[in-house]
Amino acid sequence: MKALVNCGVAPLHLEPSEQNELIDEAFFGMEVQTLSRYDGWVKIQTPYRYEGYVPASCLVLDESRIAKWAALPRRIVVRPWVDIQKKPEVRAETLITVPMGSLVALRVPAETGQWASVLLPDGREGFAARSHLSPLPLPWQEQNEGEFRDGVVRTACGYLGTQYRWGGKTHQGIDCSGLAFMSYMLNGSYIYRDAKILPGYDIHEIKKEDIKKGDLIFFPGHVAVYLGDRRFIHSTGYAGTEGVCICGMEPGSEGYRDDLMKIISAYGSLF
């Protein structure tokens, strides 16, 4: 059965308990599949085939509302956080605040001006600044390779300074695989959510000498986005450099981590 995420960030837990490990975050407007229900929790599968438990209060399960919402054209949120407001006015009441990567449905697709009229999954109507929304990215296979790689790097760098949060994928907090995932998702590719190369996903292993900007560098339990020029960006909980930062890959370069350079396990690419 289909469901729609109707809260800004729906926490995915390994088990149906707030005290259990946070493993992922599903965003507003995401269509998911429900797998089972348990005492106020729903086990879901995301579009990128990740599974976990979310509070039932975060989901719209009404089939008619899901169909109405899904029939409208979608836009993706491209600012770190965006308010959806009750009226098309900056002073209006905020209905909900949603993170980058969320999806909204346009009620009046051809409308122009500062505000976009949007429908929330639960049937409420609201308004969002049009400049904060963008058409959904083309699938990566339909894009120019160079432009795709530039987009991945640009997106990853947009999270610089964000704190490290296990299971996080927003500018409030993001983990290493969350940074890699968002950098690809916002540019048209769903990669595996965790820090590994998994069969059935588009990332495949490449030789060290073939790595280009936008590719991924894997370590045991960790992943980084390669920026080119022997530098990478990652989100780390390492003492003294917590959060999203850039590391040089040569001894003496800014941010150099000898401990990481010794344990690189693989290089990955879509191409």
pLDDT at residue 240 tops 90: no
pLDDT at residue 112 tops 90: no
> What are the pLDDT digits (tens) for 154-201?
999 999 999 999 999 999 999 999 999 999 999 999 999 999 999 999
Say what the pLDDT of residue 182 is: 98
> What are the pLDDT digits (tens) for 133-155?
999 999 999 999 999 999 999 99
3-state secondary structure at position 191: coil
54, β-bridge pairs = 42
In angstroms, the CA 96 to CA 230 distance is: 41
**Residue for token pair 């009620």:** 107
pLDDT at residue 110 tops 80: no
In angstroms, the CA 153 to CA 102 distance is: 20
Say what the pLDDT of residue 111 is: 72
Q: Which distant-in-sequence residues (6+ apart) come within 8 Å of 26 by Cβ?
A: 5, 9, 10, 12, 32, 44, 46, 54, 58
Q: How far is CA 267 from CA 48, 220, 225, in A?
A: 21, 12, 10
Both tokens assigned to 202: 């588009």
Confidence band of 108 (pLDDT split at 50, 70, 90) = confident
In angstroms, the CA 91 to CA 109 distance is: 24
Domains and CATH numbers, the chain: 2-67 (2.30.30.40), 71-134 (2.30.30.40), 140-269 (3.90.1720.10)
3-state secondary structure at position 148: helix
CB 10 within 8 A of CB 27: yes
3-state secondary structure at position 235: strand
E-state strands within 78-124: 81-85, 94-99, 103-106, 115-119
Give pTM, 2 decimals: 0.97
pLDDT at residue 93 tops 90: yes
Give percent of the chain above pLDDT 70: 100
Tell me the average pLDDT across 104-108: 93
In angstroms, the CA 197 to CA 105 distance is: 33
> What are the pLDDT digits (tens) for 113-124?
899 999 999 999
Say what the pLDDT of residue 168 is: 98
Nearest to 237 by CA among 159, 163, 180: 163
Both tokens assigned to 70: 């899904």
Biggest CA pair distance of the chain = 60
Task: Find how far residue 192's CA is from the centre of its chain.
Answer: 11
Confidence band of 251 (pLDDT split at 50, 70, 90) = very high
Residues carrying an active site annotation:
176, 222, 234
Both tokens assigned to 193: 């959510």
